Amino acid sequence: AQSVAQPEDQVNVAEGNPLTVKCTYSVSGNPYLFWYVQYPNRGLQFLLKYITGDNLVKGSYGFEAEFNKSQTSFHLKKPSALVSDSALYFCAVRDPGGKLQFGAGTQVVVTP
Amino acid sequence: GAVVSQHPSWVICKSGTSVKIECRSLDFQATTMFWYRQFPKQSLMLMATSNEGSKATYEQGVEKDKFLINHASLTLSTLTVTSAHPEDSSFYICSARSQGNNQPQHFGDGTRLSIL
């Protein structure tokens, strides 16, 4: 079965500092991985995806993610966090049937 | 970018009422649509998947007679919560994807349903 794990319920970072949100995956076959962000009372916004190709994937709003096969990880990163990046972040993997399996989510809090 | 419009964004109604939520893809053809339910501070729980023109496929434990899904066109899917009760109160989110499993899912802004 395909699954992802987000080990941190919350990540706190000061504005201007690097932001990392962790995600590890467990799949059989090639992983199709996604990151989404959710603001309060809103749906999810697509940030980026990894299907194949370069291990470093660049996405929206200055975010990027690094696919690491040996560590089965797909951590989301941003070099310099903004207060407006405070939100709930979800890692997801697509299963063979085309459905997304979401992680539990990580709340990011960026303080001024 | 791809836009999914979900309506209404917020609804309060009495117990026993049926509530319809619409999900529209505004600038792409949504061959597949998904309906999720999200409890406070929790992840999304997939309720059902629908392909245009076909019956929806419901996840285990989701009552298909309670949550009616229609996906009659490539731009519109509806979720009807029939005879809603307070335990049906939740945040419901739809998402849509164009043809191909590698395409990203695009999400609506969700509907906050409160049953009194």
Which residues on B lie below 8 Å from A43 (Cβ)?
4, 6, 93-95, 107-110
**Which amino acid, A44?**
L
**Closest approach of B86 to chain A, Cα-based (Å):** 19
Q: Which residue has the higher pLDDT, A57 or B99?
A: A57
Question: What does the pLDDT read at residue A18?
Answer: 98
Does the pLDDT at position A50 exceed 80?
Answer: yes
Q: Using an 8 Å Cβ cutoff, are B4 and B95 in contact?
A: yes
Given A42, A90, A100, which is nearest B110 (Cβ)?
A42
**Which amino acid, B48?**
A
pLDDT in tens, B4-45: 999 999 999 999 999 999 999 998 888 899 999 998 878 899
Alpha-carbon gap, residue A80 to A77, rounded angstroms: 9
Mode of pairing for the β-strands spanning A64-68 and A73-78: antiparallel
Give φ, ψ of A83 to 5 degrees.
-55, -35
